[in-house]
Amino acid sequence: MSANERWRSVAIAGHTDDPQTATAALVDPDPVVRELALGALDRLGLLADIVVTAALADPDHRVRRRAAALAGPRPAVSLLAALGDAEPVVVETAAWACGEQEQVAEPVFARLVELAGGATEPLVREAAVAALGAIGDERGLPAILAACTDKPAVRRRAVLALAPFDSPEVDAALQLALTDRDWQVRQSAEDVVRASAAP
């Protein structure tokens, strides 16, 4: 069977109640097939946490990224290793997934704080800041406030991440964001201020 045929059969398996095909594809030599297998099993409601955890260590970054995305609604799956992945796209996805998990282990939380201020890739910083906002732990607030002076996309995300918090520092950051040179940052600040003022 050609690669294209294997791709097609695994993709269809998720829509035709064919867990055997999807499960067998988890060990296919083609990483695209393995990635599709994760999606098919998830669609079938048969994707076990242990399979997601194993896929986070896959040799191919595309599979690791898909696994990180699928870990979001799975709080039992640790994303710590993915937050240290060599591929920024995996780290970014893992950070977003941590925000979906909302409650994370201490080492994961510490790594998110580190990434929010120190990651080379702006998309990784943005995702880490968003995750800290979703988690809502006060210990993440300094990193979020610092991100309010980052690149526009990161500033915009940081302003939105301030929503769960209430302090003079947060108020000051929002007031400053209302005058930001980037209109999307200003709009985000207006949205947060308006929401906080709502009864």
The answer on pLDDT for 2 being more than 80 is no
Q: Could you give the dihedral angle defined by the CA atoms of residues 143, 144, 149 and 152, in that order, rounded to the nearest 10 degrees?
A: 130
pLDDT digits (tens, 9 = 90+) for 89-104: 999 999 999 999 978 9
**Ranges of each domain in the chain:** 88-197
The residue among 16, 44, 21, 45 whose CA lies nearest residue 33 is: 21
Q: What angle do CA 139, 144, 147 make, to 5 degrees?
A: 145
pLDDT digits (tens, 9 = 90+) for 135-186: 999 999 999 999 999 999 999 999 999 999 999 999 999 999 999 999 999 9
| Ordered DSSP codes for 104-160 | --HHHHHHHHHHHHH-SSHHHHHHHHHHHHHH--GGGHHHHHHHTTS-HHHHHHHHH
Q: Under 8 Å CB-to-CB from 196, ≥6 apart: which residues? A: 163, 166
pLDDT digits (tens, 9 = 90+) for 98-133: 999 978 999 999 999 999 999 999 999 999 999 999
Q: pLDDT over 90 for what percent of the chain? A: 87
60, exposed or middle or buried, with CB in 10 Å at 0-12, 13-18, 19+? Answer: middle
CA-CA distance, 63 to 196, in Å (whole number)? 40
CATH 3.40.1080.10 fits 88-197, yes or no: no
Q: CA–CA distance from 21 to each of 2, 40, 134 (Å)?
A: 15, 9, 36
Q: Tell the residue number behind the tokens 């940081």, with chain if given.
A: 158
